Amino acid sequence: MPSYFLPYQDEWINDDSQIKAAEKSRRVGFTYASSYRMHQKCMRNKPPFTQWVSSRDQFTAQELLSEYISKWCKASNITAKGMYGDKVQVFDVAKDIKAFICTYPNGNRIVSLASTPEVFAGKGGDVFLDEVDLHKDPGKLIDMAMPCITWGNQLEMVSAYKVDGSKNTPWAVMIADAKRDNTQGISLHRVNIHDAVKQGLVEKINEATDKNQTREEFVAQLRARCRTIAAWQSQYECLVSDGGGKVLPMSAITPCEMDAEEIAEILLRNPKAARFAGYDVARSFHGSAWHSYAQIGVTLFREDREVFHGRKFRDQEAWLGSRLTDVNKPRIARMAIDSTGLGMHLAENLVTDYPGRVDAVNLESHRRNELCLLLADRFEAKQFMMPPDPQTRADFNGPYKASAKNGALRIIVPAFTGADGETTHCDEFIAAMLANSAADAGTIAYMPPHASTSRRANARRARRRAITERHRWSAA
């Protein structure tokens, strides 16, 4: 009879290597197959035997037992204590370290816990590490789990790559070594989404959900749900995020340059297109940059660009206010402004004065990384058009990728002297990135303040303000 599992799952289940790892796509059934293997070991191994499981959070740790192990127990016609994730043991009250324990009739057990590497100290048994690269400290997790198998036990590790990771994360380094010298003797499995689909994943999903998707429709739908290329490649194609190189190489910038007159004609034909803007705040050393774009279909066309040097904050605020209220120019539906450091006060005032139209964006490293990658994705899809300009081109080409000490992705925004002789900190890139963020946020109707002495009118106005604030998108 054909196997219940897909071929790559069978290969994983039947692999008895002491150390094995799976470089995998998300949601292709490796944890599911591993849970069956755990169940078989608890049924067959001589007591006492312990299977340790470390998941990235407590919910996932409990779900392993309640959703998977309980299924295999029922299929085997046995009742194990805690197989529904209802038996909890506290290891450390102060640190809230607890585990969900399933004990089989023969005394063997599965101990499923969240990402707590310290628990493995002094422990022995088989170990399964789920989604290693997504743990808070994957290097420490692997280091603490490895000694558990000293007496002949087994270490199993599975993971997709972190979206904002790099080639220097502990998981990526270990997988690269297994492909090259394999000094640790790892039995390596690799299954991306295309491999899984070829081996029957879509048919399995159709059977479980009563759908009738084709393989091509399934893959296309997954790709459409990914906001960025980096998300698609890391989560589904087993490709580690590039920890080096430009965020926007010239090969991505030049195809998105269009003659200024041609852009003007397109804007003239679409006067009602929504307008979005971004503003990068500076005071003395670098420039303050304004970029505004018209969204026509899914493409942003640059309409306006301003760069200021040495302008006082009150003058910047006055200029932005006049631009947002200028009836002789297309109305800016939404603007995003840098609220990090120097921009905090200016952003706070504008958010108060123009509720629902201005977003204060705190560009801390993780948020900046995300917005940079979203802009890069728009360039790659050629959904961003601007006139050719040496200064803008240099600004956009400036930011580059690097790796933090823990292997996480960092995006460096360098300062340099531009073509106009002024110092820039890729200010126009930041302004465009913020405008793209505003466009992604969409529009919300703006309700201007209206003075009134009527108690009823004041109550209505307060309710309107509350509704606007509740629905106002904030990127901070």
> Which residues have CB under 8 Å from 237's CB, separation 6+?
25, 192, 193, 194
Confirm if 34 and 156 have CB atoms less than 8 A apart: yes
- Which CATH number applies to 250-471? 3.30.420.240
Conformational region of residue 210, where left means phi above 0, alpha means psi within -120 to 50, and beta covers everything else: left
pTM: 0.61
pLDDT digit string (tens) for 154-203? 999 999 998 877 788 899 999 999 999 999 999 999 999 999 999 999 99
pLDDT digit string (tens) for 432-468? 999 999 999 874 433 344 444 455 556 556 655 555 5
- Among 14-18, 170-174, 340-344, the range scoring the smallest mean pLDDT is 340-344
Report d(CA 467, CA 13) in Å as an integer: 54
Mean pLDDT, range 380-399, rounded to an integer: 91
Angle among Cα 77, 79, 81 to the nearest 5 degrees reads 160
- Kindly list the domain boundaries of the chain, sorted by start residue: 7-236, 250-471
- The H or E element that residue 215 is part of is helix 215-225
- The answer to whether the bond into 48 is cis (omega within 30° of 0) is yes
pLDDT at residue number 455 = 58
Nearest alpha carbon to residue 379 among 235, 231, 228: 228
Confirm if 289 and 309 have CB atoms less than 8 A apart: no
Q: Centre a 10 Å sphere on the Cβ of residue 328 and count the other Cβ atoms it contains.
A: 4
Report d(CA 85, CA 99) in Å as an integer: 9
Report d(CA 248, CA 268) in Å as an integer: 29
The helix/strand/coil state of 3 is coil
If you average pLDDT over every residue of the chain, what do you get?
A: 88
Report d(CA 119, CA 91) in Å as an integer: 8
pLDDT at residue number 66 = 95
pLDDT at residue number 456 = 57
pLDDT digit string (tens) for 314-341? 999 999 999 999 999 999 999 999 998 8
- The H or E element that residue 410 is part of is strand 409-412
Report d(CA 69, CA 64) in Å as an integer: 6
Strand partners, 352: none
Report d(CA 63, CA 58) in Å as an integer: 8
Beta-sheet strand order (sheet of 109-113): 88-92, 97-103, 109-113, 50-54, 126-130, 155-159, 19-24, 187-191
pLDDT at residue number 27 = 94
pLDDT at residue number 305 = 93
pLDDT at residue number 452 = 44
Nearest alpha carbon to residue 410 among 418, 421, 401: 401
Mean pLDDT, range 390-414, rounded to an integer: 82
pLDDT at residue number 448 = 43
Q: What CATH topology corresponds to 7-236? A: Rossmann fold (3.40.50)
The helix/strand/coil state of 416 is strand
User: What stretches of 354-399 show up as alpha helix (H) in DSSP?
Assistant: 365-380, 390-397
Q: Three-state SS string across 254-322, please? A: HHHECCHHHHHHHHHHCCCCEEEEEEECCCCCCEEEEEEEEEECCEEEEEEEEEEECCCHHHHHHHHHH
User: What stretches of 136-214 show up as alpha helix (H) in DSSP?
Assistant: 138-145, 170-179, 193-198, 201-209
pLDDT digit string (tens) for 221-260? 999 888 777 788 899 999 887 655 788 988 889 999 999 9
Conformational region of residue 430, where left means phi above 0, alpha means psi within -120 to 50, and beta covers everything else: alpha
**pLDDT higher than threshold 70 for residue 422:** no
Mean pLDDT, range 84-93, rounded to an integer: 84
Report d(CA 281, CA 431) in Å as an integer: 9
Mean pLDDT, range 387-409, rounded to an integer: 83
| Residue whose token pair is 């046995």 | 78
Mean pLDDT, range 264-276, rounded to an integer: 95
Please state, for a pLDDT cut of 90, what percent of the chain lies above it.
65
